[in-house]
Amino acid sequence: MSTARPASLPTIKRLPSYLQIIENARDDGREFISGTVIADELELEPIQVRKDLAVTGIVGKPRVGFSVSELIEAISAFLHWNKVNRSILLGAGHLGTALMGYSEFRRHGLSIIAAFDPSPERHDLVINETRILPMDDLDDFIRREQPEIAILTVPSSVAQQTADQVIAAGVRSLWNFTNVKLKVPAGVVVQKEDLSSGYAVLSVKMGLAAHSAECSDDPAPLPGGRTSTI
Amino acid sequence: MSTARPASLPTIKRLPSYLQIIENARDDGREFISGTVIADELELEPIQVRKDLAVTGIVGKPRVGFSVSELIEAISAFLHWNKVNRSILLGAGHLGTALMGYSEFRRHGLSIIAAFDPSPERHDLVINETRILPMDDLDDFIRREQPEIAILTVPSSVAQQTADQVIAAGVRSLWNFTNVKLKVPAGVVVQKEDLSSGYAVLSVKMGLAAHSAECSDDPAPLPGGRTSTI
DNA sequence: TAGATTGTTAATCGATTAACAATC
DNA sequence: TAGATTGTTAATCGATTAACAATC
């Protein structure tokens, strides 16, 4: 394995899907896997998989493919998924609770060390090994435990003020599941998950599919073809 | 308003965020909004907003901007969000329950007419106006009610078989929240939401931020700069 | 009018894809 | 060896951005 290179955002987004395939291969006892096989499973082009994997610094063997264990190590290292990311979750509603239960994230270093919620009836409940604490404890907890990430699953109406509070207490990275575009000071990282985007893409795809079913037998790829699988 | 044009996937994904800003403007009683204002709020380039809005066929007024009501109509029509999409939800766990409660989707045409779950203790519960039914009712329900969309929030282990079942019963569009790459027949639309991609992007951004904080005062944009806000 | 904004046409930039030599 | 696969270099494609005339 040589050194990692800079990667484009589309590449970074595809790496987790590769990792999943490769971890499955490991669980099946396989020692090597080729870019071609990964591409087949994900319906991507082999050259794209090779290019993407190259950013991790992995070096393969012609004719054989890549070492499964080296590939897992390389992707995990590239994504920083081989270290623990201590995080807190704000808003223990259904979405927040769902995230607490995702073992996939936990396996890849995301450790949710506490959740915070204003509802007194939820306090001290332990869901998926994570205790729910009152909002009043938030500032002290952050200063004491120094979590790196705050996961925002609060209602949109309190998203900005919650972000302000955790940033003031020292959190430098936010994973924002609300539909609010947060205003944060320079140096604070925000990753926004936008389910509306997905709904929009689904809606447009459905419209195209309906149209092509009515009007012709042609398969109707999304306009913008090549990138339609993102 | 002239006719809608084909749009790229990045454009389609940005349209919902524009719509949100514009709906806020409407709620504030504003009649016109310019691309510049939208761009400012979302930290995008004005030219990108103008280009994106153009795909909906909207025509603006120089110096004034776009009619708020026309813009809402144009984006909604382009996304097919001004018609009702009858959908069913498979797997009434925390994530599924969270989706049932998202009024944003309901306002934009997504009507979840029923949820299905194997747990007997959840049957006939009504959550956010949606009744939870046993899996045994699924086939009959689909044939009777003809929902257009199936939302998959089931465990990964049963994702493929659940998809097979709803497709066999007549559903043509899947919104897939599992981490399984579904195999579906031609003509079936699948939109996959991938939270792991978001976690990967967050992790890499954090790594870059940490590195730049240690090594220099430079702001450290993601490699691949221009598209780093996706 | 002056000036902000739209919308078009052209330029740039970067991601994807192709071609192919190297390799085991 | 033969042939599949890697990895590099070049070409293509499309999305973003720039420039600017038109417009109210």
Whether any strand D atom is under 7 angstroms from the Cβ of B63: the reply reads: yes
Does B96 belong to an annotated binding site?
yes
- Report residues 4-23 of B contacting strand D, contact meaning Cβ closer than 7 Å: 8-11
* Alpha-helical segments (H) within A28-158: 35-42, 46-54, 68-78, 94-100, 103-107, 138-145
CATH of domain B85-195: 3.40.50.720
* Tens digits of residue pLDDT in A18-54: 999 999 999 999 999 999 999 999 999 999 999 999 9
User: How far is Cα B77 from Cα B56, in angstroms, rounded to an integer?
Assistant: 8
Sequence ranges of chain B with CATH classification 3.40.50.720? 85-195
Confidence of residue B6 (pLDDT cuts 50, 70, 90): confident
Q: Which of A219-223, B9-13, B179-183 has the lowest mean pLDDT?
A: A219-223
Instruction: Kindly tell me the burial class for residue A151, based on how many C-beta atoms sit within 10 Å of its own C-beta (0-12, 13-18, 19 or more).
Output: buried
What pLDDT is stored for residue B74 in this prediction? Answer: 98
What pLDDT is stored for residue A179 in this prediction? Answer: 96
What pLDDT is stored for residue A128 in this prediction? Answer: 87
What pLDDT is stored for residue B214 in this prediction? Answer: 65
What pLDDT is stored for residue B5 in this prediction? Answer: 78
Confidence of residue B91 (pLDDT cuts 50, 70, 90): very high
Class of domain A9-78: mainly alpha
pLDDT surpasses 50 at B219: no
Bridge partners of A61, per DSSP, are A65
pLDDT surpasses 90 at B222: no
Sequence ranges of chain A with CATH classification 1.10.10.10? 9-78
> Would you call B85 and A8 a contact, using CB atoms and an 8 Å cutoff?
no
Whether any strand C atom is under 7 angstroms from the Cβ of A11: the reply reads: yes
- Phi first, then psi: give them for residue A86, nearest 5 degrees: -75, 125
C-alpha B217 chain-centroid distance: 37
